[in-house]
Structure 1
Amino acid sequence: MEFTMGGRLEVRITPADVGKRVSVRRLSTDADAGPKFTDAVGVLTSWDDRVLSITLRSGETVHIPESSLVAGKVVPSAPARRRGPAASFAELSRITARAWEPPVSEPLGDWRLRAANGFTRRANSVLPLGDPGLPLDDALDRVRQWYGARRLPAYIQTATGAEGTQERLCAELERRGWQREVSAEVRVAALAPIGDRDADTGQVRLSRTADAAWLSRYQRFDTPGPDVLAVLHSGPSVWFATVPGDAGSDTPAAIGRCVVDGRWAGFMAVEVGPEHRRRGLATAVMTALAREALDEGASAAWLQTETDNGAAGALYDGMGFATHHRYHHFRSA
């Protein structure tokens, strides 16, 4: 990380740069190791009382005393585009939301309040794309009231790490005591290479509905009620993949779900029974679904995976998926 100009470290940011992406270097003191430099790159979300707040790509906000700052500069609003199809945050956020469409939805300005009786945070959280039409504190009060009336915790889904994402909103929620509970990555890839993989897709059965067998492998609920089924079947063109289990078992060995929406195919609910892993079944499921999506005219793929799911991350790395941005669920205190 280069900060020097003519061999000197310089601080070239001011409070007027709040809202911009910056790179800073600060001096910290470790009791054992002594003074050392620490770097941070993220969006400058505030500069108050001689303390800078920078929200990182991970969604974490770091607070840096002005007195410890030794270098800083504004950097491009997003890193150079990584491998994978070009996509804006606005496009992807709407595409991913349509794949988890809740049965209850209500606008709050440009925000959308979503509820599905608690089935998945994605379908039971606010999608804050734009201006809520109210001062933030009033909007947050309205959010708490709306979810409280439905006996649900109040969640807001935010995003970081791409141009146009919501680092400033993350910082404002954190400042008001909202807790970041879950973070995940939105990854993108070209679709054709997934469909072209050499996988045993003959064992994969495709259907337009999630039947009892499919639901028995997707163990995210006790008894799937109407809200669960409404969310799972939401989206412009939905496919469910099933690999049958062993003889005598009604529970599939593997399942998956795909939502085709224009040029995008979204993959989710790819699950393999523990006793059936390391047999290529997840790859077979995704390949079969990708081929169906290609037949419908899709060319790009997306999926969401929690940041601490190393096994899934390795699988998707091998399929060419790259992180586009991260999203987070903040829960009201």
Structure 2
Amino acid sequence: MTHSLGPHVLGQRVVVRRIVPGETGPTGGPAFTDVLGTCESWSDGEVLIRTEEGDEVRIPTGLIVSGKPVPPRPSRFRRLTDADVDARLDALRGEPAPPPPVDVQLIGVARLARSLGEGGGEVRSSDAGDGTLVVEVLHDGEPVATATLRHDDEWALLRTLDVEDDHRRRGSRRLLLAAVTGALAERGISVLAGEIPADDPAARGLASAIGFERHHTTTAAG
């Protein structure tokens, strides 16, 4: 079966029509279903689509009937001007802003929860006063990954995200972010913001992979 999709759609939002094996459609022929989401891998005769609910759908390429890239869903933050967002963050920082250029990244807490799935392990969150929230992932009762945030009303700003060297690349960062999401949801916070140096591609890549949207990039005054 031929179609125009392939590895070139990696990272793109796509809609894929596939055959449902063993089922019959209303006209007596094969049954079909559509899958909408982001193409995360295309190899060994299989494509992996992550739906907007965070589910993984693996489709043998031989069952794909048709498909195409589709435009990203309109951002809920598009109506906010740069000045609107900067004013929010100025109220949350509690300390000087990082030197520009910095990418201001935003995500809805509910969307982040869908992207990360359920967390796990031993976690702890505490309010340190003055709108500061500390979230930790623990190992044998000791923190191995720590996030600090400041929150006010329905927004929170991620200030630090640290993982002990011995626990890097073990999923601790993802567990920490899942714990952050839970702590924010418990407090009725709906938007999480982050500020990432524009020259840090690794951090920008991580933010993009879990659904953060770059709202704007700060520039030096004058």
Question: Could you tell me the TM-score, scaled by structure 2's length?
Answer: 0.57
Q: Which amino acid aligns with 2:85?
A: L
C-alpha contact 1:245 1:253 (8 A) present in aligned 2? yes
Q: Which amino acid aligns with 1:202?
A: G
Question: Could you tell me the TM-score, scaled by structure 1's length?
Answer: 0.40
C-alpha contact 1:189 1:302 (8 A) present in aligned 2? yes
Cα separation, 1, equivalents of 2:120 and 2:88? 27
Counterpart residue number, 2:92: 99
Mapping 1:2-81, distance limit 5 Å: none
Q: Structure 1 or 2: larger strand share?
A: 2
For 2:189, what is the secondary structure of its paired residue? Answer: coil
Q: Residue 325 of structure 1: CA displacement? A: 0.9
> Deviations for 1:15-48, whole angstroms, at most 9, x for unmatched residues?
xxxxxxxxxxxxxxxxxxxxxxxxxxxxxxxxxx
C-alpha contact 2:126 2:134 (8 A) present in aligned 1? yes
C-alpha contact 2:92 2:156 (8 A) present in aligned 1? no
Query: Are 2:120 and 1:187 aligned?
Result: no
Cα separation, 2, equivalents of 1:85 and 1:202? 32
For 1:187, what is the secondary structure of its paired residue? Answer: strand
In the alignment of these two chains, the number of paired residues is 149
Equivalent of 1:316 in 203, 207, 219:
207
For 1:204, what is the secondary structure of its paired residue? Answer: strand
Cα separation, 2, equivalents of 1:246 and 1:202? 10
C-alpha contact 1:186 1:324 (8 A) present in aligned 2? yes
C-alpha contact 1:239 1:289 (8 A) present in aligned 2? no
Equivalent of 1:306 in 190, 197, 211:
197
Mapping 1:1-333, distance limit 5 Å: 83-86=75-78, 87-102=80-95, 121-122=96-97, 182-196=100-114, 197-209=116-128, 234=130, 237-244=131-138, 252-329=143-220
C-alpha contact 2:93 2:150 (8 A) present in aligned 1? no
> Deviations for 1:114-172, whole angstroms, at most 9, x for unmatched residues?
xxxxxxx42xxxxxxxxxxxxxxxxxxxxxxxxxxxxxxxxxx8xxxxxxxxxxxxxxx
C-alpha contact 1:242 1:255 (8 A) present in aligned 2? yes
Q: Residue 84 of structure 1: CA displacement? A: 4.6
Q: Residue 192 of structure 1: CA displacement? A: 0.3
Alpha-carbon spacing, 1:89–1:182, altered in 2? closer, same or farther (3 Å): closer
Q: Which amino acid aligns with 1:83?
A: S
Cα separation, 2, equivalents of 1:299 and 1:324? 16
Cα separation, 2, equivalents of 1:201 and 1:91? 35
For 2:121, what is the secondary structure of its paired residue? Answer: helix
Cα separation, 1, equivalents of 2:192 and 2:126? 20
Question: For the aligned residues, what is the CA RMSD?
Answer: 2.9
| Structure 2 unaligned residues grouped into runs of 5+ | 1-72
Q: Which amino acid aligns with 2:137?
A: V
Q: Which amino acid aligns with 1:285?
A: L
Pair member with larger Rg: 1
Cα separation, 2, equivalents of 1:245 and 1:324? 35
Q: Residue 240 of structure 1: CA displacement? A: 0.3
Cα separation, 2, equivalents of 1:271 and 1:255? 5
Counterpart residue number, 1:38: none
Q: Percent identity?
A: 22
C-alpha contact 2:93 2:157 (8 A) present in aligned 1? no
C-alpha contact 1:85 1:190 (8 A) present in aligned 2? no
Q: Which amino acid aligns with 2:194?
A: L
